[in-house]
Amino acid sequence: MAKDIEGAEHGEFATKDYQDPPPTPLFDAEELTKWSFYRAVIAEFIATLLFLYITVLTVIGYKSQSEVDQCGGVGILGIAWAFGGMIFVLVYCTAGISGGHINPAVTFGLFLARKVSLIRAVLYIVAQCLGAICGVGLVKAFQKSYYVKYGGGANELADGYNKGTGLGAEIIGTFVLVYTVFSATDPKRNARDSHVPVLAPLPIGFAVFIVHLATIPITGTGINPARSFGAAVIYNKDKAWDDQWIFWLGPFIGAAIAAFYHQYILRAGAIKALGSFRSNA
């Protein structure tokens, strides 16, 4: 335990059994010269395309089956499993290439924590949105009649809920997700629990699963601006566009709160910075 105790007098850690990566530069133009950067952007595009294809197809399939038989189809539980399971699979597949964000809110939170550069964050978000549009486009191409009839998998605020409630649900849901991402990828946690195999995609996928269980009845569960944007672009109905701001503002606020909470409260970033400042004064 002594290795993990912070030296109060000097504002720094004693010998640590883990190494925090240095903050990523805000602007890193050198990234644009590396194939690994473009490979990561492509991975985000393809992963988000597959995510939207499978999940929106699941939503539409459930609605079409339940109309005939109310006990038919996968149900809300099955939809939540589809979203959480796909995130588990896709994060597992792409974590070593792009970090497995598959969500602009996750990318935004990691950018605020200086885990990715501004250039990478912007191109990731663009790739994710384009991938989402293409994924939902494939769903419409394969199931055009069902797609239009059953709402295109678009996120909309449910009847009986006001916009404040929907925004709050998106903020809290995204906080749970991004907080889980930070916790599951924390180098301190990996070092402390090195005797236990840490499979980061698993808790992240479960976070998506449980948030969907809670918020599907309220907003259909966004917590991913690319998912909401891609469905709205292809479905292109007024209600989906009228509520679109909820599915961008909510996740970005939730991600920002999660980044602040993890970096400055749990990891005591503010106290470390203050201690370093005092020791150099």
CATH number for the domain spanning 50: value is 1.20.1080.10
Residue 151 included in any domain: yes
Residue 253 included in any domain: yes
d(CA 196, CA 181): 18
The residue among 164, 169, 181, 159 whose CA lies nearest residue 110 is: 181
The C-alpha torsion from 99 through 101 and 107 to 111, rounded to 10°, is: -20
Residue 271 included in any domain: no
Q: What pLDDT is attached to residue 25?
A: 83
Residue 162 included in any domain: yes
Q: What pLDDT is attached to residue 13?
A: 44
Determine the Cα angle at 118 with ends 181 and 206, to 5°. 15
Contacts by residues 127-130 (CB-CB < 8 Å, ≥ 24 positions apart): 127/41, 127/42, 127/44, 127/45, 127/48, 128/44, 128/45, 128/48, 128/101, 128/102, 128/103, 128/104, 128/226, 129/48, 129/104, 129/225, 129/226, 129/229, 129/230, 130/45
Q: Report which residue type is found at 113.
A: A
Q: Residue 61: which domain range?
A: 29-265
Q: What pLDDT is attached to residue 136?
A: 96
Question: In the block, which residue shows the tokens 């679109």?
Answer: 244
Residue 5 included in any domain: no
Kindly give the parts of the chain with pLDDT less than 50: 1-14, 270, 273-274, 276-278
Q: What pLDDT is attached to residue 12?
A: 45
Residue 10 included in any domain: no
SS (H, E, C) 132-175: HHHHHHHHHHHCHHHHHHCHHHCCCCCCCCCHHHHHHHHHHHHH
Residue 3 included in any domain: no
User: How many domains does the chain contain in total?
Assistant: 1
Q: Are the C-beta atoms of 224 and 90 separated by less than 8 Å? A: no
Q: What pLDDT is attached to residue 16?
A: 59
Q: What pLDDT is attached to residue 196?
A: 56
The residue among 155, 166, 167 whose CA lies nearest residue 220 is: 155
d(CA 215, CA 213): 6
User: Cβ of 141: how many Cβ atoms within 10 Å?
Assistant: 10
Residue 69 included in any domain: yes
